Amino acid sequence: MNNNEFMREIEINGIKVEVDLRTVRQITTYKIGDNVKLLMKSGGDYNVYPGVIVDFVNFKDFPALVVAYFKRDYFGTDIRFVTITKDTEDIDLAPCLPHELSLNKERVVDKFNVEIADAQRKVDELTQKRDYFIDNFAKFFDDKEAQ
């Protein structure tokens, strides 16, 4: 291969530079509160999760990012946390574009609302069962104790 294939001229702030694409690196800057996407390997599968950077822990020899991410499945939505260091394997981090964020937020909120409604139905059902027991069966036990 010819070295010229990998050389590109780009302009940065009015300054033209020649870059070798084989050695160029992209630097992405993150801050606490940034919305991100996590690519996580689990078993043999890769999954993408929406998340938010919640902490940067500046350990002297081992700085770490803490990311809260939202795992959605058939059973609901769960908030989980992952710590990412220079040695973390099977997890990749990418910025979340603004339009992706609004879609993810709506989906997560909808899932939580469904879970809240399900839990409320269960509470209502248990309350009805308890009240039925108090009104009907408790009389039977009270009569037996009186004898």
Three-class HEC string of 45-68: EEEEEEEEEEEEECCCCCCEEEEE
Residue 79: both structure tokens together: 């908030």
Residue 24 has pLDDT above 80, yes or no: no
For the chain, the domains span 3-146
Start-end of H helices in the chain: 98-132, 138-146
Please state whether the predicted TM-score (pTM) of the whole model is above 0.85.
no
Residue 125: both structure tokens together: 């059902």
Neighbouring CB atoms inside 10 A of 36's CB total: 21
What pLDDT, on a 0 to 100 scale, did the predictor assign at position 119?
A: 92
**Separation of alpha carbons 78 and 92, rounded Å:** 20
What pLDDT, on a 0 to 100 scale, did the predictor assign at position 145?
A: 62
- Which has the higher per-residue pLDDT, 64 or 10? 64
Buried b / exposed e over 53-72, threshold 16 CB at 10 Å, is: beeeeeeeeeebbebebbee
What pLDDT, on a 0 to 100 scale, did the predictor assign at position 103?
A: 52
**Separation of alpha carbons 25 and 35, rounded Å:** 22
Quote the mean pLDDT of the chain.
82
State the pLDDT confidence band at 144, using cuts at 50, 70 and 90.
Answer: low
DSSP secondary structure code for residue 97 in this structure: P
Torsion angle of C-alpha atoms 62, 32, 49, 72, degrees rounded to 10? 120
